[in-house]
Chain A
Amino acid sequence: MTALRRIQKELADINKKPIEGISVETKDDSLFEWKCAIKAASDSPYKNGTFHFTMSLPQNFPFKAPTVTFTTKIYHPGINEEGSICVPVLRDEWKPSVTLSSVLIIIQEKVNNPDPDDPFEPQIAALLKNDKAKFLATAKEWTKKHAM
């Protein structure tokens, strides 16, 4: 019950003050599944791409962290092939006072600024570190192929 009210409030807050570059909607009739899309910033390697991901909230939210899965393929060192993103706040550092809008902002930050020191995909991270131009090219190519 507390989960419902809190989720409704969060949704209302996000709709009232939308975050730039992120759009959120709920899946069908369930408040526990959110379909979100992030538009990459113009200074990121993925510019002009729109990446979709789903955020599923557990039944005992906010005591348990939500899970985020990317449905659009993205060439990112911190997001693997199945679409899972490695964010500490969603795993160990989750606390009930973390709002979903802050989670979205963190995800946006991570997408726009790929960080090679955080490898979910070691090869991509290595490429980013060693050959940045090639990484940018591949990222652009994948963005064109999947996220446009």
Chain B
Amino acid sequence: MAGENNPVVPSKLGLTLVMPLTPEPTTFHSSSYNISLNFTSLISLPSRLLARIRKADDFLFLDAVSTIPTSGAGRAKSNALLTNNGTTNMFPGPYGFFLSGYMLGLVLLGVLLHRIQNIVVPPRTSSPSHQLHRQISRRFFAYSTVRRLYGSVLPLDLNKTSTRLAFHLPTLYFLCKMLVTWAVILLQTSDFYPATESGYIHSLGEWVSRLEMHQVCWRTFCSICAAFSVEAFIRGLDGSGLGLIHMSANTSPFNLIGYSFLLHIYSSPITHVYKPPSLPSRPDKHVIVTIAVPLLQLTIFHILSIRKRWSNHRLFPTALSSMLSLLHFHLTLYSHYYCPSTNTPLSPNPQQPKLKLPLTTHWHAPATPVPLNMGTSFPAPTPPPLGRVPPPAAPTVLYSHPTGSASFPLLNYVPNTFETLLLLTIALTIILNALTQLILTGRVARPLLGLGLSGSNINGGWAWAPPYDEDWGVVLLRVGTASLEATGLRGLGNEMPTIHAPPLASRYPEYGTARLGPTGVLHISNGFGPVGGPTRKRRRGLSNEVRAVDGGAGSNSSSRFFVFSPDLINWRWMKEAWRFFGFWTHVTGWSKGLGGHHHHHPQRQQLGENLAGGQGIEDDEIIIEDEEEEQDIGDDQEGDEVYDRFLRQEEISDDDDGHNHNSAQGWDLGPSSAESEDEDEEEGEEGTERDLLGDAEAVDLYADLGATTPAPVLLAHMTRDEGSPLTRRRYGSLLDAPEATQLGKSLFPVHQSRTELTCVRRNCVICTCETREIICWPCRCLSMCDGCREVLASRASSSKHRCPCCRQLVEGYSRIFIP
């Protein structure tokens, strides 16, 4: 195994050793920035890149060598060290990595894993179960014993933990052995290893300390490869690569290339700091932690893969290793900044080659050609004992202490800092949530609100479903982003307050408003029909949908005015008086003149509408004014025309009256309006209705109402349980039933379709499992359950929330309580 580390090129390096030890910084720099963009240089770019890598390698090597004290003995010793130390002659740079055994191993492993994933696939036809095969095999006892043995063991059932354990055992043994080795190395380099004189611990320590670093690294690499292969094999046999969980094997989220680069670098003694006399050298302890933590994660994955149910669980190992590395990071920072007394003086060992590899300029050039997906850590060679304390503001370079008591792998900063920031943001969100709820509602009900983590909305917010098969990093990123974007102010996270005031957009609100007072319903205002046609009909009775309820708790200013005003003028009386008066004028045949003026209003009142829009509770006054104005203005214009006609002695409009009489009959028979509570109003209603419906169309509309008795229609309406209203066509189809009674028909399929439709209509359109509870404003679609709403809210930024039914922009939502 040792020979594999330096396969091809010792001779080349031997050459460079002999070269004069003059570092060439200038040419190196100039060559690195000398890329001219003509055609030939483009073609030669790859070769130049390679040459640059090699040059960088050589340069670094030369630099390292040149800092070795140039006393003859020292040089000889360093040469001897480097050439005779048979193992790694190559400087652990990127070029060396490409040619090392690690790269070969990676390539082979890649091919192997790919083939396993594609070939090891359970057969389509289900294989007979273990017992069945046993029974079958028993019948063939005449066969040889080998066959019988064969038949009793195979086919294996991979759902059983014992078979999986058998597969995993060898690799598990090796992994654990390497883990223990690394742990002991760590303890030894940080001087925590118990120095007993004899016994298992002592012999273990002795054995470990005799291991060469490159051996350890190489063995670690091999055991990881073996573990990956076994896991991929098992996963393939399981068939869990197919189907719903299209996750590729455990291998892909773990950055094996980066990790093996790490191992490669720390195989060579050049990068080692800790050099006990007459024992193999060791890298810095922080580096060891960085190497050991992913190994721990992989071991846990391997253990989890023993049991089928746990084999997709990724959260715990990734979380554990992230937490450990974060802990390591923060402890190091803490000890560096707050415990400066642990500075040890320069090492008394003069033989220690002092690597002067300032990280600022020289690492940049070689770093660029190497693909920068180095994953968890790309440690720099350990920093030189410069003996200066860097200013705390310098985030890139952290060396202060000789012998590296606070030397920390450089690029570990970035992922660790990022993770820390994410964790802090999430913690901040949770704390703010908890504080808000605690202060306002007295108990912390849903601290995880808005983070997209809660499983369902029942049983309160402490219940959360940790996503077991996601990586910790992924979860952190997702929740962190959600917490940064969580907003209770807009979009689907915005719960609208309880509605006090009826939202009134225009002087002609489409739907009615009910005003409630202490004694009950004070007044129902009416909605108006849509613009179009000659009249804008006021909706009355059953055609007036009341959509807003004013409990009187609403706006102050206008209601105050309104409260005062009855003392001066009795508005209500005035209104009724006007109606009464209107009734008489209609009866005397001036109905057309008075009533048909509504079509003028849209033009004149447009401006008024826009002005009055969104004013809140001024509806009643406005409507009252409207009525009066309507009739006033209408009078002026249409009255002239009627008068003209009268003057011309033409017959004045008997058509309308005639129609009105017919429809009036229809109305008498029809169900009386339940909305109005005033008798005067009803009579007045009749009269104004007559003038409003002064069209032939209206006659046709209500003709059938007048013709038939209303009872069956009413019954059909009331026994209907579906969400959509009973239209004429549907009613007709009910009537056309071939069966005996229409009721008989409507009962049976209604019952069937009732449950079906109830299921469909009551369930959320997104998950179709929970009942709908959320309506969106302003579109008011009741379509989602609370869980889906939360998911939607955390997915997109709030300005882009759209209703899942009608795709209008969502400003807020409300919960609907269906008792």
Q: Which residues of A contact B (CB under 8 A)?
A: 2, 4-6, 9, 28-32, 59, 62-63, 93, 95-97
Contacts and interface: CB of A to CB of B under 8 A. Distances in A.
Contact of B244 (A6, A30, A93): A30
Contact of B242 (A4, A6, A9, A30): A30
Contacts of B601: none
Nearest to A29: B243
Contacts, number: 47
29 contacts: A2-B766, A2-B769, A2-B787, A5-B767, A5-B768, A5-B769, A6-B766, A6-B768, A6-B769, A9-B768, A28-B124, A29-B243, A29-B244, A30-B242, A31-B244, A32-B244, A59-B246, A63-B791, A93-B807, A95-B802, A95-B803, A95-B804, A95-B805, A96-B765, A96-B788, A97-B766, A97-B783, A97-B804, A97-B805
Contact of A63 (B783, B787, B795): B795
B692 interface: no
A67 to B, nearest CB: 15
Given A95-B804, A95-B805, 15 more contacts: A2-B767, A2-B769, A4-B244, A28-B124, A28-B242, A31-B244, A32-B244, A63-B766, A63-B791, A63-B792, A93-B807, A96-B788, A96-B804, A97-B765, A97-B783
A35 to B, nearest CB: 15
B770 to A, nearest CB: 9
Contacts of B787: 2
Contacts of A62: 766
Interface of B: 124, 242-244, 246, 765-769, 783, 787-788, 791-792, 795, 802-805, 807
Interface of B is mostly: loop
Nearest to B760: A13
What 7 A-B pairs have minimum CB-CB distances, sorted nearest first?
A97-B765, A2-B767, A96-B804, A96-B766, A29-B243, A97-B804, A97-B805
B432 to A, nearest CB: 27
A16 to B, nearest CB: 10
Nearest to A2: B767
Which of A5, A32, A62, A93 has the largest count of B CB atoms less than 10 A from its CB?
A62
A101 to B, nearest CB: 12
A5 B766 CA distance: 10
A9 B124 CA distance: 25
Nearest to B803: A95
A63 B804 CA distance: 9
Contacts of B769: 2, 5-6
Nearest to B785: A2
B141 to A, nearest CB: 37
Contacts of B243: 29-30
Which of A4, A6, A97 has the largest count of B CB atoms less than 10 A from its CB?
A97
A6 B244 CA distance: 14
A56 to B, nearest CB: 11
Contacts of A93: 807
A28 B242 CA distance: 9
A97 B782 CA distance: 12
A123 B425 CA distance: 55
B767 to A, nearest CB: 4
A2 B242 contact: no
Which of B244, B783, B805 has the largest count of A CB atoms less than 10 A from its CB?
B244
A115 B795 CA distance: 36
Contact of A2 (B246, B788, B802, B803): B788
A9 B788 CA distance: 17
A86 B803 CA distance: 23
Contacts of B244: 4, 29-32
A54 B461 CA distance: 40
A146 B641 CA distance: 73
A30 to B, nearest CB: 6
A95 B783 CA distance: 12
A4 B243 CA distance: 12
Which of A2, A62, A63, A96 has the largest count of B CB atoms less than 10 A from its CB?
A96
A55 B583 CA distance: 66
Contacts of B242: 28-30
A79 to B, nearest CB: 26
Nearest to B805: A97
A134 B539 CA distance: 57
Contacts of A96: 765-766, 788, 792, 804
Contacts of A63: 766, 791-792, 795
A96 B765 CA distance: 7
Contacts of B766: 2, 6, 62-63, 96-97
A5 B803 CA distance: 21
A23 to B, nearest CB: 21
B781 to A, nearest CB: 9
Nearest to B124: A28
B763 to A, nearest CB: 9
Nearest to A61: B766
B751 to A, nearest CB: 18
A5 B791 CA distance: 16
A93 B804 CA distance: 10
A124 to B, nearest CB: 31
Contacts of B804: 95-97
A30 B246 CA distance: 10
Given A63-B795, A96-B804, A6 B767 contact: yes
A28 B243 CA distance: 8
A97 to B, nearest CB: 4
Contacts of B783: 97
Contacts of B246: 59
Contacts of B767: 2, 5-6
B712 to A, nearest CB: 31
Which of B768, B792, B795 has the largest count of A CB atoms less than 10 A from its CB?
B768
A103 to B, nearest CB: 14
Contacts of B802: 95
B477 to A, nearest CB: 16
Nearest to B781: A97
Nearest to B795: A63
A58 to B, nearest CB: 11
A20 B66 CA distance: 83
A30 B243 CA distance: 5
Nearest to A10: B768
Contacts of B768: 5-6, 9
A80 B244 CA distance: 30
A2 B763 CA distance: 13
Contacts of B807: 93, 95
B639 to A, nearest CB: 52
B738 to A, nearest CB: 22
Contacts of A95: 802-805, 807
Contacts of B791: 2, 63
A63 B766 CA distance: 8
